[in-house]
Amino acid sequence: MSDVILAGIGQTEVGEHWDRSLRSLAAEAVRQALSDSGGLRPQALFVGNMFAPILSRQAHLGALVADFSDLTGVEAVTVEAAGASGGAALRQGYLAIQSGLVDVALVVGVEKMTDQVGFGVEEALATTTDSDYEAVAGLTLAAQAALVMRRYMTEYRVPADGFAGFALTAHAHGAGNKFAMFQKAIKPETYARAEMVCEPLNLFDVAPNADGAAAVLLTRRDLLSKNFQHPLVRIAGAGVATDTLALHDRADLLWFDAAHLATARALKQAGASLDAIDFFEYHDSFSIYAALSLEANGFAQRGVGWKLAAEGALALNGKFPCATMGGLKARGFAGGATGVYQAVEAATQLRGAAGKNQLNGVQMGMIQSLGGPASTAVTHILERIDI
């Protein structure tokens, strides 16, 4: 198999871009990635998106993004897998390069949450649950996560402030990320005073819905220019898995089986063990999902994932840094763009270009995006290649 290199990366600021369109956000990220690559031109474009047909009344994003990125004529399609859409698009770009049928692939994640407000957004989010058995009863994503979190807290006797460490870690890291929606650290008392969104989830346990776009350009190592300016970062392994869509169909509410399977597949392909992973960009759309991801992926035993955050192990100077640029909680949850943002952030770390948030001596990072409560999980292992 050939080395698939992240040759170019780009991202927009994450936030409420009331004055920007879906196409303009995507085009900005694309221009950055193309420039960062040294001028490579893609033959195929994969767009990760969740809600454009619902919130922006815009489908056919492959052609739209290609058109407004001056790439008319390339092969282009949209990939949807709820919150894992960006990760799934990255997987398709990776497979295209490995197939040998595509030399250069462009992966774009883009989302525009602010094209509607209030119930319109909640209704869109509910389409990612089981429509016949969950959404029809009024179950929202926050309520779904709250049910899981309550079960976890009861079963493992977690105190009321037990998940505070995830929010504190994310916001501390977001303070050093100029693209993050929130760039300010918070104190424990700030978390404690936050209003409830859906008990026991408070405001700081929920990632904010946001707009944004991120892009990566993939190619084979042998196609890079001799004047390529960046340290080489490759996708060493990738894995995708699914679980039941409805929570009530699961034998164990507190185990993310798809996350476990996707990571096992990615590690096997990379020929690596968990011990080789220097940092982890998890999908912390809700604090409870961060804890369950740590456990399902083998970084913590069951019932103690929350303690890693509480003890400071996930901080930049901790034993196992996570959400190194703020995660979804501080960067913002830009829907289907999430997995591509994670790839950009991990590549930035591995290139040694993360500024105030730079980790020392990192060689391998793992990113994982989830659709719902890990009904879909996509894991990628990224590795720096030192020549």
Phi, psi of 132 (to 5 degrees): -75, -25
Determine what percent of the chain falls in helix, strand and coil, rounding each to the nearest 5.
40, 20, 40
pLDDT at 118: 81
What pLDDT, in 10s, does the model give residues 28-62? 999 999 999 999 999 999 999 999 999 999 999 99
The number of CA neighbours under 13 Å toward the Cβ of 225 is: 13
Residue 119 is predicted with a pLDDT of 85
pTM of the model: 0.98
Phi, psi of 177 (to 5 degrees): -115, 110
Q: What is the pLDDT of residue 386?
A: 84
Q: Look at residue 225 in the predicted model and tell me its pLDDT.
A: 86
> Token pair for residue 207?
């990632």
322-331 burial, b at 16+ Cβ within 10 Å, e below that, comes to: bbbbbbbbbb
With the CA atoms of 277, 370, 203 and 191 taken in that order, what torsion angle do they form, in degrees rounded to the nearest 10?
-10
231 upstream amide cis, omega within 30 of 0: no
Q: What is the pLDDT of residues 62-110, one digit of tens each?
A: 999 999 999 999 999 999 999 999 999 999 999 999 999 999 999 999 9
Residue 117 confidence (pLDDT): 83
Identify the DSSP state of 4: E
Q: Cα dihedral angle (89, 268, 292, 173), rounded to 10 degrees?
A: -70
The 3-state DSSP class for residue 228 equals: coil
Residues pairing with 235 in the sheet = 4, 382
DSSP E strands: which ranges in 12-57?
44-48
Name the phi and psi angles at 256, rounded to 5: -90, 85
Instruction: Give the separation between CA 46 and CA 26, rounded to whole angstroms.
Output: 12
Question: For the chain, which domains are there?
Answer: 4-117+209-232 (3.40.47.10), 137-205+236-385 (3.40.47.10)
Q: Which pLDDT belongs to residue 60?
A: 98
- What is the CB-side half-sphere exposure of residue 259 using CA atoms within 13 A? 27
Task: Judge contact between 172 and 315, C-beta under 8 A.
Answer: yes
Task: Give the DSSP letter of residue 94.
Answer: H
Q: Which residues of the chain, if any, have pLDDT below 50? A: none
Is 53 exposed, middle or buried (CB count within 10 Å of its CB: 0-12, 13-18, 19+)?
middle
What are residue 237's DSSP bridge partners? 381
